[in-house]
Amino acid sequence: MTPFAVELTFHGDLPFFLKSKTSKIKRRLSERTSVKDVIEACGVPHTEVDLILIGGERADFGAILTQDVVIDAYPPSAPCSTLFPEDRLQVSRIERFVADGHLGKLVRDLRLLGIDVAYDPTAEDRQLVETAAAENRALLTRDRRLLMQRAVRHGYYLRSQEPLEQTIEVLRRFSLSRKLEPYSRCLRCNALLQAAEKSEIIEQLEPLTKIYYEKFRRCPDCGQVYWSGSHFAKLQKRVELIRSQLKGEN
Ligand SMILES: [Zn+2]
């Protein structure tokens, strides 16, 4: 077929993903190509794109390009909420996640806030993608090739390498600031904690803990016992720090 030209404009923070860091890219194509493939060839995973306009018309990822066109790609956060607000490619609120193996500290933060995050540091890429698809979880990663896999429906590329900033990014991207239930989930295995009678768990406690504490929670899956001991002050500080960064947000 006759070669044709595609001109892409990446809006909002999407130029973050481009080598050139400028927002416009021109491509020459010589075969029918999906808009998803053209966008991802520029380095932008499809999970980061909330709205695509081809010649001003809204399009899905599977739209096939065959002739000269102008394409606009917008992220979920872009200030373009008046364009097709009901017909976006991403879901604004997701409450279940799976994190890739390098994100232990982020996972701990999110679980501390009560957010459901599946995490296995030994999981291979294939397993992460399968878990995300089978359990309808959003995949959190810093590996953009992973997010480009077609089977990944929801996902997020963490911009920062710093756990606190990553935590704030996830809470903002998925509108979770008002859904937090700190201390409700096991930090080790992600299960929801249950109240436990002191008599049930007394054999697991150190002598001083037996004396000074009366309220306990236990993980029904891994057996970990939680109480408001000295370690708890550290966790409280972390929760307060995260909350202070989110003040006034939804
Ligand atoms: Zn547990």
Q: How many CA atoms lie within 13 A of 184 on its CB side?
A: 10
Q: Which residue has the tokens 């057996």?
A: 223
When pLDDT is averaged across residues 50-73 and rounded to a whole number, the result is 96
Distance 192 CA to ligand 1 centre (A): 8
Which is more confidently placed, 230 or 22?
Answer: 22
Determine contact, residues 224/239, Cβ cutoff 8 Å: no
Cα 230 to ligand 1 centroid, rounded to whole Å: 20
Contact 226, 218 (CB under 8 A): yes
User: What is the distance in A from the centroid of ligand 1 to the CA of 227?
Assistant: 14
* Ligand 1 centroid, distance to 161 Cα (angstroms): 26
Residue 172 burial (CB < 10 Å; 0-12/13-18/19+)? middle
Burial class (CB in 10 A: 0-12, 13-18, 19+), 134: exposed
When pLDDT is averaged across residues 198-222 and rounded to a whole number, the result is 87
| Mean pLDDT of all residues in 42-55 | 96
As a whole number, mean pLDDT of residues 37-62 equals 97
**Residue 84's pLDDT is what?**
81
Residue 58 has pLDDT above 80, yes or no: yes
Provide the pLDDT for residue 81: 64
pLDDT of residue 219: 96
Round to the nearest angstrom and report the end-to-end CA distance of the chain: 50
DSSP string for 121-182? TT--HHHHHHHHHHTT-EEEES-HHHHTSTT--SEEE---SSHHHHHHHHHHHTT-TTS--T
Q: What is the DSSP letter of 192?
A: B
Q: Where are the domains of the chain?
A: 4-74, 96-184+231-245, 194-226
Percentage of the residues of the chain whose pLDDT score is greater than 90 = 78
* 185 CA distance to ligand 1 middle (Å): 8
197 Rama class: left (phi>0) / alpha (psi -120 to 50) / beta = beta
CATH topology of domain 4-74: Ubiquitin-like (UB roll) (3.10.20)
Mean pLDDT within 196-202: 86
222 CA from centroid of ligand 1 (Å): 4
User: 224 alpha carbon to ligand 1 midpoint, in Å?
Assistant: 6
Residue 218 has pLDDT above 60, yes or no: yes
Indicate if the alpha-carbon torsion angle 110, 112, 118, 124 is positive or negative.
positive
Q: What are phi and psi of 11, to 5 degrees?
A: -95, 175
* pLDDT at 69 > cutoff 80: yes
Asked if the model's pLDDT at residue 79 lies above 70, the reply is: no
Question: Given phi > 0 = left and psi -120 to 50 = alpha, else beta, which region is 100?
Answer: beta
Q: 78: pLDDT confidence band, cut at 50, 70 and 90? A: low
Round to whole Å and give the CA distance between 172 and 167.
9
Beta strands at 155-157 and 216-218: parallel, antiparallel or unpaired: unpaired
In which region does residue 12 sit, left (phi positive, over 0), alpha (psi from -120 to 50) or beta (all else)?
left
pTM equals 0.92
pLDDT grade, residue 159 (50/70/90)?
A: very high
pLDDT classification of 80: cutoffs 50, 70, 90 = low
Q: What is the pLDDT of residue 250?
A: 55
Residue with tokens 């604004």: 92
